[in-house]
Amino acid sequence: MATMIQSIRRSAIGLGIFAVITGGTIAFTQALTSERIKEQAAKAEAKALFAIIPESDHNNDLLKDTLVLPASDRSATGGPVTVWVARQDGEPVGMIMPAVAPDGYSGTIKLLVGIDLQGKVLGVRVIAHKETPGLGDRIETRKSDWVKDFEGRSLGNPTPKQWNVKKNGGVFDQFTGATITPRAVVKAVQKSLIYFRQNQQAIQAQLNSTPAGQGPVVTPGDLTDESLNVEQF
């Protein structure tokens, strides 16, 4: 009996040690993977920022020059919106705003929308989504140039009713077998322009009154959901 008890005790101790080692290994692996995901997300967003407003069009530190705008339902949290500001010789020339399309086919689509001070789109990039590969993922620049059709657009170009996909009377192409995804992105970009127009004077005043780099520093990746697929630009 004593021998059996000792055997059971040794087995229990062995299992306990194995569980501790296994748990520690899993935790370490998850932590390491999480950091790598954040790093890749940060790199992807940084590339997206410079794809929207190239370094040739500004000479400030775009990654560090930020300011906070009033709360908006466009943001992932519904709270204040932190934007990146592009300046040429100290003068603001445009900004890049995070935007969210909550009604994608497979869930939330996260975007970056560049807007100049006249309310014209400088560029749009999708930074995270769960859309169907081969269908909805054409919103990625590595899959198609569809998202580049926003460049130069404004609330007057096209008219408000035409800010939609062609299937619904708009000017933007839809994808074969996937209308919901592009329609969601179009609406998110339009909402960003509406937000800018509604707050244009306040934004302009804040841009001019905030010294370059004096806003809160936002590291690319802060706005990225690790559970989403990050586009590698």
| 56 half-sphere exposure, CB direction, 13 A CA radius | 1
**CA distance linking residue 202 with residue 196, whole number of Å:** 9
Residue 221 confidence class, pLDDT cut points 50, 70, 90 = very low
Q: Are 84 and 96 in contact (CB under 8 A)?
A: yes
**CA distance linking residue 76 with residue 84, whole number of Å:** 16
Q: Are 62 and 86 in contact (CB under 8 A)?
A: yes
The residue count of the chain comes to: 233
Residue 225 confidence (pLDDT) above 80? no
Which of 195, 186, 48 has its CA nearest to residue 123? 48
Please state the domain extents for the chain: 49-230
DSSP helix, strand, coil percent of the chain (3-state; round to 5): 40, 25, 35
178-212 pLDDT tens trace? 999 999 999 999 999 999 998 888 888 888 776 65
25-80 pLDDT tens trace? 665 555 556 566 556 656 667 888 999 999 999 999 999 999 888 887 655 556 78
Alpha helices of the chain — where are they, by DSSP H?
A: 2-52, 180-198, 200-209
Q: Are 103 and 129 in contact (CB under 8 A)?
A: no
Quote the pTM value.
Answer: 0.75
119-155 pLDDT tens trace? 999 999 999 999 999 999 999 999 999 999 999 999 9
Residue 222 confidence class, pLDDT cut points 50, 70, 90 = very low
**CA distance linking residue 83 with residue 112, whole number of Å:** 9
Residue 23 confidence class, pLDDT cut points 50, 70, 90 = low
Of 51-55, 88-92, 215-219, which range is least confident? Answer: 215-219
- In the predicted model, what is the mean pLDDT of the chain? 81
How many other C-beta atoms are found inside a 10 Å radius of the C-beta of residue 106?
Answer: 16
